[in-house]
Chains A and B, each alone.
Chain A
């Protein structure tokens, strides 16, 4: 069966190490495989490694699957694993944040590999679930030992051809137009679905994409614009599959400068005052946003991580109540009885209805007296700006690439510091206790203790109102009635599980 699928964007490259981005990893994940895979519930599952264990705090041992061969029929061995991890750590690779804790990769025998980390690294298997294994022979033959080097202008066969071990082979690739996969009949495992061919087409324009589904030109497309969900659901030929996504959308506030860059308040920073942050929090009516703007396709959240991320604590996932009166009172207490003016930076083409959410937030804040100057813009200009911390109030969404809570703690909540810590903590929220906990979480191998520490860190952050979490947006996949697919909350598409 030929399965035609349309997506908002295209995988930019077929090289699984060239870009750490979910569309690309999702797509190449059908061709390549990691050592440790994920099951339908996002739990870890054997993939190219049949088992793994911690030999000592800094050494993980992986037993490799036997009788596996790449699409070009070369057998898969430990050499390939060693090569892959080297490649992923090499220049030009975008997976280096996953591999930089690795000190050494040792080939024990053809089917055993030891990975030695610099410090105890309890989540190595989680991390390695994003690193896909490539064939050393194929890469060498195609001079693709490293991901493409844009600086020297050297092209790389791996960016438009592929040779993995996965359930599908790459048949043809026309970047931005269509990419065709065919079933790998020599796959080591079982392919549950019946797709023999997958035709993948990016369609950027929402309306066109919906039209393509409605007119039956594609079997499945994603994302379904939230406002079209209801209408499509009413269409007897079409089904919309909705589910929570791992990404958490939140607002951040500049809490470190002594005077905000873009605000009417001069000489002091209102966001340093927890009452102001709380007032903002309580002024936002998430229920209205959920029903009106997201049309129900969102889960308001009180936490910075979604269910499904290791470390998620259901008890903590409670929002402060929506209460404009309280909010006004808090503002007055903080010394802003008439509110103040501040600029909100916002992307308008990155997250589901991001611009609309910001507008709604601006409207809600206006009701408690805060005047928001909304600046909504394309992600191409938005991200450079906020990443240089040239903002006072901003919106961001985050999916932990490791499916582990340490990642957001480290990237979003810890005080900015060396080696990427707090890199996306764009408002420079800072609490030393949280920083300390984050460090300990990184190397704690006892999952139970680790979980407790994560919960503690989240509680601290929640208490401080370090950020204003909004919601987890919902995935919405639209498909013809006869299509069966498994929707993963990380929005990966595994065609081996789909059928018609």
Chain B
């Protein structure tokens, strides 16, 4: 167990290093940060001077080594554009993104799993087919369009919900949360729904197909043959086995929710990291981009680790060590 976690952590470190390298090296080539940093009237000499001061004229590997060294300490330097610590900037934006993503993930899971189970159990029911059909729209419409249509409907036409931002937030230490105010919840609703729609559809379809598969297994048949009640069979036996593969996908999905929040945050002006990132891309703010990528990778790695540990909880076959089972 410890060895397993350790190995995963080592692997994660390797992954992180590669990601750092990619992030850093790729963004070497996007845009010219110097341009974003000075106004239009600066002279070429001033630009060149700034360039050398930023170390942008140093050899690549030296820049990268410096980058990694700092990144390990959570230090990504100052934003080229804002002149503030990237770590602080991300820290400020992190709560917003996490709250949004979490809300979306919870929504996707709490709606997706029951819907998936329902559509699997009522395979030929009209309501189940309706759910399936509607869910297809979820994956056939681009997220940004859904978001904008939702704003149009709920904010402009109906005026029920606010159209942008996080609303009132409450600071809990460095964490600012919108979950403690009514206004915050109102603001959360539309973006979270927009963000979760795609993942909800995926999870629902995944649960459905896994469930259908599991319902065909011998142990379900045997459970029926023992005369267990349907509820026990469906929710005790089938669902639990369905969850094993669902956990992996859902884990990955949670990660992509965070990444997909780029779009949602752009549409809803949600002050999270995604918005920060896309603004950084637009102005070639390398430190922010690099930091964001590393953070996303870290989130993924952590999620993957958590998923693996969750497996241990769900699937007893993994709990004992390999030696005693031959397969």
Do A and B contact each other directly (Cβ–Cβ < 8 Å)?
yes
Q: Which residue of B39, B83, B282 contacts A379 across the interface (Cβ within 8 Å)?
A: B282
A21 contacts which chain B residues (CB < 8 A)? 39
Could you show 22 A-B contacts with beta carbons less than 8 Å apart? A97-B39, A151-B53, A159-B84, A175-B84, A176-B279, A203-B165, A207-B267, A208-B163, A208-B269, A211-B151, A211-B155, A211-B156, A211-B163, A212-B163, A216-B159, A380-B36, A380-B282, A384-B32, A384-B35, A384-B284, A420-B43, A423-B41
Q: Which residue of A98, A150, A151, A208 contacts B267 across the interface (Cβ within 8 Å)?
A: A208
- A15 interface contact, C-beta 8 A: yes
- A12 interface contact, C-beta 8 A: yes
The answer to whether B54 touches A150, judged by C-beta atoms less than 8 angstroms apart, is: yes
- A124 interface contact, C-beta 8 A: no
Give bound CA distance, A233 to B292, whole Å: 41
Number of chain A residues close to chain B: CB under 8 A: 53
Give bound CA distance, A380 to B276, whole Å: 15
Task: Determine which residue in A13, A151, A205, A209 has the highest number of CB atoms from chain B within 10 A of its CB, and name it.
Answer: A205
Which A residues lie at the B interface, using CB under 8 A? 12-13, 15, 18-21, 94, 96-98, 147-148, 150-151, 153, 155-156, 159-160, 174-178, 201-205, 207-209, 211-212, 214-217, 349, 378-381, 383-384, 387, 401, 411, 419-420, 423-424
A212 contacts which chain B residues (CB < 8 A)? 155, 163-164, 269
Known: A208-B267, A215-B156. A12 touches B284 (CB 8 A): no
Q: Which residue of B lies closest to A100 (CB)?
A: B43
The answer to whether A174 touches B30, judged by C-beta atoms less than 8 angstroms apart, is: no
The answer to whether B162 touches A384, judged by C-beta atoms less than 8 angstroms apart, is: no
The answer to whether A217 touches B162, judged by C-beta atoms less than 8 angstroms apart, is: yes
- B133 interface contact, C-beta 8 A: no
- B42 interface contact, C-beta 8 A: yes
B3-33 contact mask (Cβ, 8 Å, vs A): 1 or 0: 0000000000000000000000000001110
Give bound CA distance, A208 to B163, whole Å: 7
Give bound CA distance, A21 to B283, whole Å: 14
- B44 interface contact, C-beta 8 A: yes
A204 contacts which chain B residues (CB < 8 A)? 266, 269, 275, 279
The answer to whether A156 touches B83, judged by C-beta atoms less than 8 angstroms apart, is: yes
A148 contacts which chain B residues (CB < 8 A)? 78, 83-84
> Considering the complex, which residues of chain B in the window 266-284 have a beta carbon less than 8 Å from any beta carbon of chain A?
266-269, 271, 275-276, 279, 281-284
Q: Which residue of B lies closest to A98 (CB)?
A: B41
The answer to whether A153 touches B77, judged by C-beta atoms less than 8 angstroms apart, is: yes
- B234 interface contact, C-beta 8 A: no
- B152 interface contact, C-beta 8 A: yes
The answer to whether B163 touches A217, judged by C-beta atoms less than 8 angstroms apart, is: yes
Q: Which residue of A lies closest to B83 (CB)?
A: A148
Number of chain B residues close to chain A: CB under 8 A: 56
- B308 interface contact, C-beta 8 A: no
- B82 interface contact, C-beta 8 A: yes
- B89 interface contact, C-beta 8 A: yes
Q: Which residue of B lies closest to A201 (CB)?
A: B165
The answer to whether A208 touches B151, judged by C-beta atoms less than 8 angstroms apart, is: yes
- B230 interface contact, C-beta 8 A: no
The answer to whether A160 touches B164, judged by C-beta atoms less than 8 angstroms apart, is: no
B53 contacts which chain A residues (CB < 8 A)? 150-151
The answer to whether A13 touches B82, judged by C-beta atoms less than 8 angstroms apart, is: yes
Q: Which residue of A174, A216, A424 contacts B40 across the interface (Cβ within 8 Å)?
A: A424
A12 contacts which chain B residues (CB < 8 A)? 81-83
- B240 interface contact, C-beta 8 A: no
B163-200 contact mask (Cβ, 8 Å, vs A): 1 or 0: 11110000000000000000000000000000000000
- B148 interface contact, C-beta 8 A: yes
Shortest beta-carbon distance from A337 to chain B in Å? 40
- B38 interface contact, C-beta 8 A: yes
- B85 interface contact, C-beta 8 A: yes
- B99 interface contact, C-beta 8 A: no
The answer to whether B164 touches A211, judged by C-beta atoms less than 8 angstroms apart, is: yes
- B80 interface contact, C-beta 8 A: yes
Give bound CA distance, A159 to B42, whole Å: 20
Q: Which residue of B55, B85, B276, B283 contacts A155 across the interface (Cβ within 8 Å)?
A: B85
Extra pairs beyond A209-B269, A379-B282, A423-B44 (16, CB < 8 Å): A94-B38, A96-B42, A97-B42, A150-B79, A155-B85, A203-B165, A205-B267, A205-B269, A208-B151, A211-B156, A211-B164, A215-B163, A380-B284, A381-B30, A384-B31, A411-B40
Q: Which residue of A lies closest to B270 (CB)?
A: A177
Give bound CA distance, A156 to B84, whole Å: 8
Give bound CA distance, A206 to B50, whole Å: 33
Nearest 10 CB-CB pairings of A with B: A20-B39, A384-B32, A148-B83, A177-B271, A97-B41, A420-B43, A151-B53, A380-B31, A211-B163, A203-B269
B61-105 contact mask (Cβ, 8 Å, vs A): 1 or 0: 000000000000001011111111100110011000000000000
B93 contacts which chain A residues (CB < 8 A)? 176
The answer to whether A96 touches B46, judged by C-beta atoms less than 8 angstroms apart, is: yes
Shortest beta-carbon distance from B215 to chain A in Å? 44
- B121 interface contact, C-beta 8 A: no
B30 contacts which chain A residues (CB < 8 A)? 380-381
Shortest beta-carbon distance from B274 to chain A in Å? 12
Q: Which residue of A15, A160, A176, A423 contacts B276 across the interface (Cβ within 8 Å)?
A: A176
- B302 interface contact, C-beta 8 A: no
B163 contacts which chain A residues (CB < 8 A)? 208, 211-212, 215, 217
B36 contacts which chain A residues (CB < 8 A)? 380
The answer to whether B83 touches A150, judged by C-beta atoms less than 8 angstroms apart, is: yes
The answer to whether A419 touches B43, judged by C-beta atoms less than 8 angstroms apart, is: yes
B54 contacts which chain A residues (CB < 8 A)? 150-151
Known: A94-B38, A156-B83. A208 touches B156 (CB 8 A): no
Q: Which residue of A19, A98, A174 contacts B38 across the interface (Cβ within 8 Å)?
A: A19
Shortest beta-carbon distance from B51 to chain A in Å? 10
- B314 interface contact, C-beta 8 A: no
A203 contacts which chain B residues (CB < 8 A)? 164-165, 269
Task: Determine which residue in B46, B50, B165, B266 has the highest number of CB atoms from chain A within 10 A of its CB, and name it.
Answer: B165
- B37 interface contact, C-beta 8 A: yes
Give bound CA distance, A13 to B166, whole Å: 22
The answer to whether B42 touches A215, judged by C-beta atoms less than 8 angstroms apart, is: no
Q: Which residue of B lies closest to A11 (CB)?
A: B82
B138-157 contact mask (Cβ, 8 Å, vs A): 1 or 0: 00000000001001100110
> Considering the complex, which residues of chain B in the window 236-289 have a beta carbon less than 8 Å from any beta carbon of chain A?
266-269, 271, 275-276, 279, 281-284
